[in-house]
Structures are given as structure tokens and as C-alpha cells.
């Protein structure tokens, strides 16, 4: 599913209208028909709040179709018809000629009429501002939005909630808080921001007749993943294959007091399909973990000859979970980056020791996946957590490109990027907020790399099935821990693979 900014949407619209010759009024009609598709026929009383732009024009067309359906409709108009866009004016005149009830809102008395009408209606339709909003919402517009939020039983927003900045999710002074947002053609970038869902409600994407070639011309390779995309990535296993075909995974993890991180990442690699998995850990905890890990082998990180052999012969390496933020971890990471020719997944303390040592990434002989959470990203990038939250995609993309890595930035709407393409993972929930979840994800990604997937694909599959497993389990569980995910992995992967 493709993601767009307001600038991209503007270019797409202008190209369709100015170059292809598609009249804007046709796009407006198509948009309104798709909004109608999302309005239940059992609802009979509507208030539509419009302004003078094309978003308001969409609202006027919706009003016409609701009137034709025999519904009771009141249209509240904010602004002046002197400033109305040409297409909006055509549709405004049509509903006026039809005898629609139109109330212009310019003062407190008319705002009070709006309040009373909203209280009496079943659905309030928000058609004030669209994706082009770039200024703070003030005055009569802000007052009307407050009335809508405080008195509506149900709000449906056209394209974006009015007052929502669709590039970054910022509230522009005041904002409609919708139950459903019907947006057009592409998922808006601001929808991925923290708390956006509390503003947009359910998001429905509808096509309005924009040619695919036009979307492809202006789209910037930013996507939100869905289950069909992941299904298309997961390969069918050949009936004649054997464990050697699914690769050798080396997990370097764990230290005294942190055996759980080593166990979780190793077991996640086993359960997500790697052919052979070996855990490299400190000799002081090797016996403990050997007793717990039935399907994986173990080696002491103190056994340099054996360790060097595994580093050079593995198909993927994961390093970091539970190792400790210390000189030993830094030295181990340095060795891996210098000697390994297979992809390396760096997580947890592997990331922590990169703080101030990013030059290590320049000397690598291998491909790298970094999997930081916000705190780790702040430490290695130099940006504050607040700065990252406000500019997640651009910061992640620039970091990945600069250091020639795949970056998986964990959190709500996890971002995965190689510096060119961006994939956003919508799966996962707060039910998964517990220790070991990151270790689990690290093992899954390393496992898929060993199975022959490129590092970007492995990161995408890993993030999606990790979160999807949590989503599915949380339907029947108050909280979901890493062991629950690990147990579910084989059946979840199979379920996605077998989807019709």
C-alpha cells in the first residue's frame, strides 16, 4: 500500500487535470461516490460541514447524493462563496438549486444552530479542510470543529480530518476527531504518526479514478505493508529440500544475568525456519543454555578457533541481545564486521556499543541490518527521541543511506528502509510491551536471511509476522510475551503462506 504526502497528492491531481485532461469535477464526483459507499443506508439524518475548497466541494456532492437517497441533510458552510473553487461552486449551486438546507456560519448564533443540528443528527460529515492545509485553524473554523467534536454521535471525515496535517500528523491548532476517515488513492504519511488513530479513527482508502501510471510517476517508494504483500514474499518450500537449504544461523548473545535474551533470540531463529542454529555465548552460561535449547547448538565465545569458523561459514549472524554494553561486546562486534561475509543483524547491546563508533560500519565486509528502538536510535544517531518521532521516515532513510545499512526502527508503525525504499509495518500492539520482544524479532530476521531472503525482505517479513503473531494472540490474551510469539511462529507463517 503506497504512502503519499500532500505535495505528491497535489502533483497527481494537477497532472490528471492539466496534462491528462480529466476534469476536476469528475474526480470530485468519484470521491463523493466513494464516501457514499462508506455511509450505512440505515442512517437518515446528516449534518455536512463544508468550506470553500475542494474538500468542501466533495461535501456538496455527498449532500446531493444523500438528498437523492431521501435522507434529511443540513449543509453548514464556513467561509465565503466568493472564494470558492470553481468545481466546488458548481456543486454548491446544484444543491442550492435542489432546495437543500444550507446555513452559512459567520457568528455565534449560527454556531449554536450548528450545535443543535449536530445533536439531532446521526452522522456528521467533515468536509472543511483536505490535504492542502498548511496554516493553523483559527476563528470560526476552530469553533465549528470544537462543536463537532463535543456534540457529534459519529463523525466521518473526507480525505483527512480537518485540522490534521497530513505529512506529519500534527494538529494545526484544532482538529476534527473522527470515527472514520475515507481517504483517496494513497495512505497519507501523517497517518503513521503517534496518536494519529485517535484522530482519524478507522481509515478506508478508496480509488477515485487516478490512473496507476500517474501514481507511479510521482510516488516516492514509501509503503505500508499488508498481509498480501507479505504472503507474496514467503517462498514455498521444495519437497526435496533439506536443512542445508535453509541455512546456518549464528546468534551471539547472552551474559550472566541475561540468559533469557540469548534463549529467546536463538529459539526464535529455530522456530521461524532456519536449517541450523548455533548460539555463541559466554562459557559461564553455556551449560545453562545448552540444557534449554534442544534444537540449537551452542559454542563458547571464548573458543576463538570454533567461533572464527562459525563467523566465516554462517549464512547469517545476529549479535547483541543480552551481551552487555562493554568492551568485550565492542571487540566481538568488530571481529564479526571484519571477518563475516554473510549478513549481520545488530540489536540491543550490539547497537549500544556503536554509540560513538559508527566508523566501524565503514569497514564492514558484510551487509548489515540494524534494529534499534527509539532510545537506541537516539544514541547512535545523535537526534533526540522527540526529533525522531517527528521525522521518523526522513531520519531513518537518511541514516540507512549514509551508513549503507537496512534500518528497522522499532515502535508504533515500525519503519524499515534501505535508504531508498521505505516499508512501514502496521502490525503489533501494546499487548506485546514486554522484555524479550526485540530479541525475538532479531532471531526471526536472522533466520529468514539464512533461508535465502535478501536483508530488506527478511526484515519486512520478520517485523510483520512478529507483530501479526502478537495481534492474533492478543485477541484472547491480556498480554503476550516472547515465548508466546515463539510458540506461534510456525503456524502463523504457514497461515499467511496459505491465505487464499
Q: In this structure, what CATH number is given to the domain that contains residue 366? A: 3.40.1190.20
Q: Is 162 annotated as a binding residue?
A: yes
**125 Cβ contact partners less than 8 Å away, ≥ 6 residues apart:** 35, 46, 47, 48, 49, 59, 62, 155, 156, 157, 158
Burial status of residue 19 (CB atoms within 10 A of its CB: 0-12, 13-18, 19 or more): exposed
Q: Are residues 436 and 352 in the same domain?
A: yes
- Give a yes or no: residue 122 inside a domain: yes
Looking at the chain, how many residues does it have? 500
Residue 54 marked ligand-binding: yes
Identify whether residues 436 and 345 lie together within a single domain. yes
- Whether the Cβ atoms of residue 319 and residue 253 lie closer than 8 Å to each other: yes
Number of domains into which the chain is organized: 2
491 in a labelled binding site = no
Residue 500's pLDDT band, with cuts at 50, 70 and 90, is confident
Residues 214 and 291 in one domain: no
Asked if residue 1 has pLDDT above 90, the reply is: no
Is 473 annotated as contributing to ligand binding? no
Nearest to 144 by CA among 120, 118, 165, 170: 118
Residue 365 has pLDDT above 90, yes or no: no
Residues 216 and 279 in one domain: no
pLDDT (tens digit per residue) in 274-315? 999 999 999 999 999 999 999 999 999 999 999 999 999 999
Show Cβ contacts of residue 108 under 8 Å, excluding neighbours closer than 6 positions: none
Question: Annotated binding residue at 42?
Answer: no
The answer to whether 418 and 294 have CB atoms below 8 angstroms apart is no
Q: HEC states along the chain? A: CEEECHHHHHHHHHHHHHHCCCCHHHHHHHHHHHHHHCCCCCCCEEEEEECCCHHHHHHHHHHHHHHHCCCEEEEEEECCHHHCCHHHHHHHHHHHHCCCEEEEECCHHHHHHHHHHHHHCCEEEEECCCCCCCCCCCHHHHHHHHHHHHHCCCEEEECCCCCECCCCCCECCCCCCCCEEEEECCEEHHHHCCCHHHHHCEEEEECCCCCHHHHHHHCCCEEECCHHHHHHHCCCCCCCCCHHHHCEEEEECCCCCCHHHHHHHHHHHHHCCCCEEEEEECHHHHHHHHHHCCCCEEEECCCHHHHHHHHHHCCEEEECCCCCCCHHHHHHHHHHHHHCCCCEEECCHHHHCCCCCHHHHHHCCCCEEECCCHHHHHHHHCCCHHHHHHCHHHHHHHHHHHHCCEEEECCCCEEEECCCCEEEECCCCHHHCCCCHHHHHHHHHHHHHHCCCCHHHHHHHHHHHHHHHHHHHHCCCCCCCHHHHHHHHHHHHHHHHCCC
Work out the average pLDDT over 186-191.
94
Query: Is residue 390 predicted with pLDDT exceeding 90?
Result: no
Exposure string over 211-224, b if 16+ CB within 10 A, otherwise e: eeebbeebbbebbb
Is residue 10 a part of any domain in this protein?
no
Q: Tell me if 317 sits within 8 A of 299, measured CB to CB.
A: no
User: Is 310 annotated to bind ligand?
Assistant: no
- Note the pLDDT tens digit of each residue in 208-234: 999 999 999 999 899 999 999 999 999
CATH number of the domain to which 181 belongs: 3.40.50.10260
Is 375 labelled as part of a ligand binding site? no
Grid coordinates of 219: 510516488
β-pairing, 202-206 vs 248-252, is: unpaired
Residues 235 and 215 placed together within one structural domain of the fold: no
Residue 136 is assigned to a ligand binding site: yes
Q: Does the pLDDT of residue 193 top 90, yes or no?
A: no
Range of the domain at 36: 17-220
Q: Is the pTM of this model over 0.85?
A: yes
User: Does 118 map to a domain?
Assistant: yes
Domain boundary among 186, 220, 254: 220
Q: Is 279 within any annotated ligand binding site?
A: no
- The pair phi, psi for residue 231, each rounded to 5°, is -55, -40
Q: Is 197 found in the same domain as 56?
A: yes
Residue 305 lies in a domain: yes
65 and 164 assigned to the same domain: yes
Co-location of 309 and 241 in the same domain: yes
What mean pLDDT comes out for the span 364-392?
A: 94
Residues 187 and 232 grouped into a single domain: no
Consult the annotation and say whether 130 binds a ligand: yes
The three three-digit cell numbers of residue 166, written as one number: 497530513
260 carries a ligand binding annotation: no
Structure confidence at residue 332 (pLDDT): 97
Asked if residue 13 belongs to a known ligand binding site, the reply is no
- Asked whether residue 489 is assigned to any structural domain, the reply reads yes
Q: Tell me whether residue 131 is annotated as binding.
A: yes
> Which of 205, 220, 235 delimits the end of a domain?
220
Q: Is residue 2 part of a domain?
A: no
Res 376 pLDDT > 90: yes
The answer to the question of whether 410 is labelled as a binding residue is yes
Do the annotations mark residue 52 as ligand-binding?
Answer: no
Is 254 assigned to a binding site? no
The answer to the question of whether 55 is labelled as a binding residue is yes
Residue-wise pLDDT tens digits, 432-480: 999 999 999 999 999 999 999 999 999 999 999 999 999 999 999 999 9
- Closest by Cα among 358, 396, 408 to 380: 358
12 domain residue, yes or no? no
Q: What is the pLDDT of residue 122?
A: 97
Q: Are residues 471 and 492 in the same domain?
A: yes
Share of the chain above pLDDT 90, in %: 93
The verdict on 210 and 252 lying in the same domain is no
Residue 247, in any domain of the structure:
yes
CA angle 48, 52, 58 (to 5 degrees): 50
Question: Is residue 309 located within the same domain as residue 449?
Answer: yes
Consult the annotation and say whether 418 binds a ligand: no
Domain-terminating residue out of 220, 249, 283: 220
Determine whether the annotation assigns residue 266 to a binding site: no
Percent of the chain scored above 70 by pLDDT? 100
Q: What pLDDT sits at residue 394?
A: 93
List pLDDT tens digits, range 124-178. Answer: 999 999 998 889 999 999 999 999 999 999 999 999 999 999 998 899 999 999 9
- Is residue 70 annotated as involved in ligand binding? no
Amino acid at each position: 500500500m503506497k504512502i503519499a504526502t500532500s505535495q505528491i497528492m497535489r502533483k497527481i491531481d494537477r497532472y490528471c487535470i492539466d496534462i491528462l485532461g480529466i476534469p476536476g469535477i469528475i474526480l470530485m464526483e468519484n470521491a463523493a461516490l466513494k464516501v457514499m459507499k462508506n455511509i450505512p443506508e440505515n442512517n437518515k439524518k446528516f449534518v455536512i460541514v463544508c468550506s470553500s475548497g475542494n474538500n468542501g466541494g466533495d461535501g456538496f456532492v455527498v449532500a446531493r447524493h444523500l438528498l437523492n437517497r431521501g435522507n434529511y441533510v443540513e449543509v453548514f458552510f464556513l467561509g465565503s462563496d466568493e472564494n470558492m473553487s470553481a468545481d466546488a461552486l458548481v456543486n454548491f449551486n446544484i444543491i442550492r438549486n435542489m432546495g437543500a438546507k444550507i446555513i452559512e456560519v459567520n457568528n455565534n448564533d449560527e454556531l449554536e444552530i450548528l450545535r443543535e443540528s449536530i445533536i439531532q443528527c446521526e452522522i456528521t460529515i467533515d468536509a472543511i479542510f483536505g490535504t492542502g492545509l498548511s496554516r493553523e485553524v483559527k476563528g470560526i473554523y476552530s469553533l465549528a470543529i470544537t462543536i463537532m467534536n463535543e456534540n457529534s454521535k459519529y463523525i466521518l471525515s473526507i480525505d483527512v480530518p480537518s485540522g490534521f496535517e497530513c505529512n506529519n500528523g500534527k494538529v494545526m491548532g484544532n482538529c476534527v476527531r473522527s470515527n472514520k476517515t475515507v481517504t483517496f488513492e494513497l495512505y497519507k504519511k501523517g497517518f503513521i504518526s503517534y496518536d494519529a488513530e485517535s484522530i482519524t479513527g478507522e481509515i478506508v482508502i478508496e480509488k477515485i479514478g487516478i490512473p496507476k501510471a500517474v501514481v507511479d510517476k510521482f510516488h516516492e517508494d514509501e509503503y505500508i505493508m499488508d498481509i498480501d504483500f507479505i504472503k507474496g514474499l514467503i517462498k514455498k518450500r521444495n519437497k526435496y529440500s533439506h536443512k542445508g537449504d535453509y541455512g546456518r544461523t549464528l546468534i551471539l548473545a547472552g551474559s550472566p544475568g541475561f540468559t533469557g535474551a540469548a534463549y529467546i533470540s536463538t529459539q526464535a531463529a529455530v522456530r521461524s525456519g532456519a536449517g541450523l542454529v548455533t548460539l555463541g555465548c559466554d562459557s559461564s552460561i553455556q551449560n545453562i543454555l545448552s540444557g534449554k535449547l534442544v534444537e540449537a547448538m551452542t559454542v563458547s565465545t571464548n573458543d576463538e578457533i570454533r567461533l572464527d569458523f562459525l563467523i566465516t561459514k554462517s549464512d547469517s549472524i545476529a549479535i547483541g541481545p543480552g551481551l552487555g554494553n562493554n568492551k568485550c561486546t565492542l571487540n566481538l562486534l568488530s571481529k564479526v564486521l571484519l571477518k563475516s561475509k554473510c549478513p549481520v543483524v545488530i540489536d540491543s547491546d550490539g547497537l549500544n556499543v556503536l554509540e560513538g563508533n559508527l566508523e566501524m560500519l565503514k569497514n564492514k565486509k558484510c551487509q548489515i541490518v540494524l534494529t534499534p528502538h527509539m532510545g537506541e536510535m537516539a544514541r547512535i544517531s545523535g537526534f533526540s527521541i522527540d526529533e525522531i518521532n517527528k521525522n521518523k521516515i526522513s531520519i531513518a532513510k537518511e541514516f540507512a543511506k549514509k551508513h549503507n545499512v537496512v534500518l528497522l526502527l522499532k515502535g508504533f508503525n515500525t519503519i524499515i528502509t534501505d535508504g531508498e525504499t521505505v516499508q512501514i509495518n502496521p502490525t503489533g500492539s501494546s499487548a506485546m510491551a514486554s522484555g524479550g520482544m526485540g530479541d525475538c524479532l532479531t532471531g526471526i530476521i536472522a533466520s529468514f536471511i539464512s533461508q535465502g531472503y535478501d536483508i530488506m525482505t527478511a526484515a519486512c517479513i520478520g517485523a510483520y509476522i512478529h507483530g501479526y503473531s502478537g495481534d492474533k494472540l492478543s485477541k484472547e490474551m491480556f498480554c503476550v510475551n516472547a515465548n508466546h510469539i515463539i510458540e506461534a511462529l510456525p503456524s502463523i507463517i504457514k497461515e499467511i503462506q496459505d491465505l487464499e
